[in-house]
Amino acid sequence: MKLTAAEEILMHHLWESEKAFMKDILDAYDDPKPATTTVATLLKRLIDKGAISYREYGNSREYYPLVARDAYSRNQVSGLIRNFFNNSSAQFASFFATETDLSADELETLRKIVEQEIQKRKA
Q: End-to-end CA distance of the chain, in Å? A: 34
Rounded Cα distance between 100 and 7, Å, is: 26
Residue 1 has pLDDT above 90, yes or no: no
Rounded Cα distance between 24 and 14, Å, is: 9
Average of pLDDT values for 55-80? 96
Rounded Cα distance between 12 and 2, Å, is: 14
Residues 9-62 have pLDDT tens digits of 999 999 999 999 999 999 999 999 999 999 999 999 999 999 999 999 999 999
Say whether 19 sits in a helix, a strand or coil: coil
pTM of the model: 0.79
Residues 90-113 have pLDDT tens digits of 999 999 889 999 999 999 999 999
The CB density around residue 34, as the number of other CB atoms within 10 Å, is: 16
- Structural domain boundaries of the chain? 5-65, 88-123
> What element of type H or E holds 65?
strand 60-65
Determine the topology of domain 5-65 in CATH. Answer: Arc Repressor Mutant, subunit A (1.10.10)
Partners of 53 in the beta sheet?
Answer: 64
